[in-house]
Homo-oligomer: A and B are copies of this chain.
């Protein structure tokens, strides 16, 4: 139950110290989470260790941020429902147009200027800082790739998803970071029209014959 108001939590207007105390605790937990993930990676970090580093009870960490995956996305300031949204899109290949829905979801994340700033930072640190790279890889693998691969009945599922994800990451690099023209100023619909069929193919199409 992330971010739900505790029944005993005082409304902010009751007084500055109490409200600020709660805000401080949340921030202390987030800082501890960033520190732990950066130092030990995603897989080896536990809610318990984060709570200890923040000097709070593990139950409070759960109360504020939910599961470890949610705490990780919160520590990267990504949308709260990021993992569930992506997983839902990737798992729901029964419907057609999964390529279009995934491509559009991904581009829309970057079109939002708040999310874009954070995604740029995540991508930059994930590509340049060895520890951040490890944490990002472990997170993506454990929370997004593996569950989808396990749920899929395709033998080559394990390669399909990284191909699709890599293509989308590259698109974001070219459009939002390197800002190569005319990619940087093409409208989203045009990009979706070009890229979605590729993503659809990687996720659900025929395997290549060699």
Contacts and interface: CB of A to CB of B under 8 A. Distances in A.
A163 to B, nearest CB: 6
Interface stretch (A28-36, A83-91, A134-142): A134-142
Contacts of A193: 208-210
Interface string A169-210: 111011101111111001001100111011001100000111
Contacts of A128: 124, 127-128
Given A208-B194, A208-B197, A133 B169 contact: no
Interface of A: 123-124, 126-128, 133, 136-137, 140-141, 145, 158-159, 162-163, 165-171, 173-175, 177-183, 186, 189-190, 193-195, 197-198, 201-202, 208-210
Given A189-B210, A198-B198, A202-B194, A182 B166 contact: no
Query: From DSSP, what is the main secondary structure of chain A's interface residues?
Result: helix
Contacts of A186: 159
A182 to B, nearest CB: 5
Nearest to A136: B178
A163 B189 contact: no
A167 B178 contact: no
Contacts of A174: 162-163, 165-166, 169
Contacts of A208: 193-194, 197
